[in-house]
Amino acid sequence: MLSDTEHRELEEAIKHYPDKRGAAIDALLTIQRHRGWISDDSLLDIAQFLEITAEDLDSIATFYNLVFRKPVGRHVAFVCDSISCWIKGCDQVQEQIKDLYDVDLGQTTADGRLTVLPIACLGHCERAPAMMIDHDVYGEVTPDKIDVLMDKYK
């Protein structure tokens, strides 16, 4: 069931399109903001609202890097692994995260604090290596800076 707030936000989202399903991505991201990820139940709620089938909506949900069809931690760290960051040592950034928090790409820490995912070029190439934690992008992330950076995300 959609909460009142969720319902109101989806009503707002569909105003931008001549056809309800145009708001599919907005709806998925809105519900994900409230619930953390898109469970099968959430998928059904949204599909019902958009008047499309859940399977149809799932073919969209599973297409995108930023729609989570599995639970994630309280925070998500996205490590850019595209070329400019690779040249500047994104592999070392990833290894440092693994050493500090005992978590590999695609995994969540045991305490549920952090999920680490690879991400395509974040468009901050002039300040490589870059990473994004939740909605915040950081450039020139050398391995020694990571623990201080992560302090903000408990």
Q: Please report whether residue 131 would count as binding other proteins according to CB under 8 A.
A: no
54 binds other proteins (CB under 8 A): no
**Which span (40-48, 69-77, 100-108, 113-121) binds other proteins, by CB under 8 A?**
113-121
CA 131 to chain centroid? 12
Sign of the Cα pseudo-torsion (40, 42, 44, 47, in order): negative
- φ and ψ of 85, to 5 deg: -75, -35
Which span sits near other proteins by CB under 8 A: 2-10, 98-106, 128-136, 141-149?
128-136
Q: Assess 135 for contact with other proteins (CB under 8 A).
A: yes
Q: Under the criterion CB under 8 A, does residue 120 sit at the interface with other proteins?
A: yes
Residue 75 is a binding residue for other proteins (CB under 8 A):
no
Residues 5/33, Cβ–Cβ less than 8 Å: no
CA–centroid distance for 54 within its chain:
21
Binding flag, residue 55, other proteins (CB under 8 A): no
